[in-house]
Amino acid sequence: VSFELAVPTVEELAERIRRTLVNWPWLVCADDGGRVLGYAYASKHRERAAYQWSVDVSAYVDVPVKRSGVGRGLYTSLFALLRLQGYANAFAGIALPNEASIGLHTAVGFEAVGVYRSVGYKLGAWHDVSWWGLRLQAIDGTPAAPRPLAEAAREPGWDAALRSGLAVIRV
């Protein structure tokens, strides 16, 4: 269950992607013909400054290619990029029930943190959301602020981090 109440227009989605890319990666996996197989992105976890080293992440995989490594590959690359930016934690909310998403998040190392009961109302029903956390990296001492995407993308290891998830995709 997506918590969108209406399908976003192409323009609305393009604007979301543009705003996201100021600070965080938005990755897309497409086949050789350009058909989108899945995407994953990061966003701000919370507003307060003390949360700046944590992000929320989300992934979508098209039904015909589920269980083909697309989600794992996207997350592998996304997490590598977020580490280069200086993020320490990633959190994901999963609308319940969703065994496939729980399986993906468990497979890439997330641990369950808790459940928000009846937090979203859609299609005439209340939905629970389970929250999952992943430690991206330990940061000792006083951490530097995470770097904006454009700055981190100039790092020598950026391209390797971006490609790091390709090896697990079986499409």
Domains and CATH numbers, the chain: 10-168 (3.40.630.30)
Give the pLDDT score at 3: 85
Q: Are 102 and 110 in contact (CB under 8 A)?
A: no
Q: Are 89 and 56 in contact (CB under 8 A)?
A: no
Give the pLDDT score at 129: 97
Contacts of 17 (CB under 8 A, 6+ apart): 26, 41
Tens digits of per-residue pLDDT, 107-127? 999 999 999 999 999 989 999
Name the residue with tokens 């979203």. Answer: 120
Other beta carbons within 10 angstroms of residue 70's beta carbon come to: 26
Q: Provide the 3-class DSSP secondary structure of residue 33.
A: coil
Q: Are 113 and 131 in contact (CB under 8 A)?
A: yes
The Cα 78–Cα 164 span in angstroms is 9
Q: Are 38 and 70 in contact (CB under 8 A)?
A: yes
| Helix intervals (H) in 10-69 | 10-20
Q: Which portions of the chain are predicted below pLDDT 50?
A: none
Give the pLDDT score at 26: 98
Q: Are 134 and 104 in contact (CB under 8 A)?
A: no
Give the pLDDT score at 139: 87
The Cα 6–Cα 158 span in angstroms is 35
Give the pLDDT score at 133: 99
Give the count of alpha carbons within 13 A of 48, CB side only. 2
Give the pLDDT score at 2: 82
